[in-house]
Structure 1
Amino acid sequence: MPAVPSWLSDPLWDQFAALLPARPATAATHPLGCHRRRIADRVVFDKLLQVLRFGCSYEAIADSTCSATTIRNRRDEWIRLGVFTQLRKITLDAYDRIVGLLLDDLAIDGCITKAPGGGEIAGRSPVDRGKQGMKRSLMVEARGIPLGRVLAGANRHDCPLLKPTLEQLDGLGPLPDDITVHLDAGYDSATSRDLLTERGLTGEIARKGVKAPIQATQWWHIERTNAWHNAFNRLQRCYERKESVVHAYFDLADAIITIRSLIRQAWISHRWDTRPTRRP
Structure 2
Amino acid sequence: MLPPWLTEPLWDQSAALLPKRPKFDPAHPLGCHRRRIGDRIVFDKLLQVLRFGCSYEAIADTTCSASTIRNRRDEWMQLGLFTRLKQITLDAYDRIVGLVLDQIAVDGAITKAPGGGEAAGRSPVDRGKQGMKRSGITDGYGIPLGRVLSGANCHDSPLLAPTLDILVGLGPVPDEITVHLDAGYDSAKSRAVLGERGLRGRIAHKGTKAPVQATQRWHVERTHAWQNAFHRLARCYERRISVIGAFFDLADTIITVRSLIRRAWTTHRWDTRPRRRP
Partner of 2:206: helix, strand, or coil? coil
Q: How does 1:150-169 map to 2 (within 5 A)?
A: 150-169=148-167
Partner of 1:49: 47
Code of the aligned partner of 2:185: Y
Q: CA deviation at 1:32?
A: 2.8
| Secondary structure at 1:152 match in 2 | strand
The equivalent of 2:252 in structure 1 is: 254
Instruction: State which of 188, 191, 196 in structure 1 corresponds to 2:189.
Output: 191
Residue 92 of structure 1 aligns to which amino acid in structure 2? L
Matched, 1:103 2:101: yes
In structure 1, C-alpha distance between the alignment counterparts of 2:27 and 2:156, rounded to whole Å: 54
Q: How many residues align?
A: 278
Alignment TM-score, normalising by the size of structure 2: 0.99
User: Which residue number in structure 2 is paired with residue 208 of structure 1?
Assistant: 206
In 1, the alpha carbon distance for the partners of 2:102 and 2:253 equals: 22
Distance 2:27 2:203 in 1: 62
State the one-letter code of the partner of 2:173. Answer: L
Deviation at 1:219, TM superposition (A): 1.1
Q: Distance in 2 between matches of 1:235 and 1:29?
A: 37
Distance in 1 of aligned mates of 2:240 and 2:6: 28
Is 1:84–2:64 an aligned residue pair? no
Look up the equivalent residue of 2:148 and give its one-letter code: V
Runs of 5+ in structure 2 lacking a partner?
none
- SS for the counterpart of 1:275 is coil
- How much does 1:31 deviate? 3.4
Q: 1:232: Cα distance to partner?
A: 0.3
DSSP-derived class of the 2:274 partner = coil
Q: Does 1:174 align with 2:172?
A: yes
Counterpart AA for 1:161: L
C-alpha separation between the residues in 2 aligned to 1:21 and 1:106? 36
1:17 corresponding residue in structure 2:
15
> Partners in 2 of 1:165 and 1:159 — Cα distance?
10
**Distance in 2 separating the partners of 1:192 and 1:217:** 17
TM-score by length of structure 1 reads 0.98
Q: Paired residue for 1:35, among 33, 36, 42? A: 33
Structure 1 range deviating more: 18-27 or 126-135: 18-27
- 1:160 and 1:29, CA in 2 relative to 1: closer, same or farther beyond 3 A? closer
The match for 1:240 among 238, 244, 247 is 238
Q: Match for 1:136: what amino acid?
A: R
SS at match of 1:147: strand
The corresponding residue for 2:264 is 266
Give runs of aligned pairs for residues 106-121 of structure 1, distance below 5 A. Answer: 106-121=104-119
Instruction: Write the deviation string for residues 31-70 of structure 1: whole angstroms up to 9, x where unpaired.
Output: 3332110000000000000000000000000000000000
Of residues 79, 91, 94 in structure 1, which corresponds to 2:92? 94
Aligned partner of 1:145: which letter? Answer: I
Amino acid of the structure 2 residue aligned with 1:191: K
* Cα shift at 1:26: 1.1
* Counterpart residue number, 1:142: 140
Corresponding letter in the other structure for 2:97 = V
CA distance in structure 2 between the aligned counterparts of 1:191 and 1:123, rounded to whole angstroms: 23
Root-mean-square deviation (Å):
0.8
Please identify, of 209-218 and 226-235, the stretch whose mean Cα deviation from structure 2 is larger: 209-218
Identity of aligned residues (%): 75
In the alignment, the residues of structure 1 paired with residue 205 and residue 123 of structure 2 have an alpha-carbon distance, to the nearest angstrom, of 24
Runs of 4+ in 1 over 4 A off after TM superposition: none
How far apart are 1:29 and its partner, in Å?
Answer: 4.4
For 1:150, the aligned partner's letter is V
The alpha-carbon deviation at position 28 of structure 1 amounts to: 3.5
Structure 2: distance between partners of 1:267 and 1:252 = 22
Deviations 1:233-272 (A, max 9, x none): 0000000001100000000000000000000011111111
Output the amino acid matched with 2:5. W
> Structure 1, unaligned stretches of length 5 or more?
none
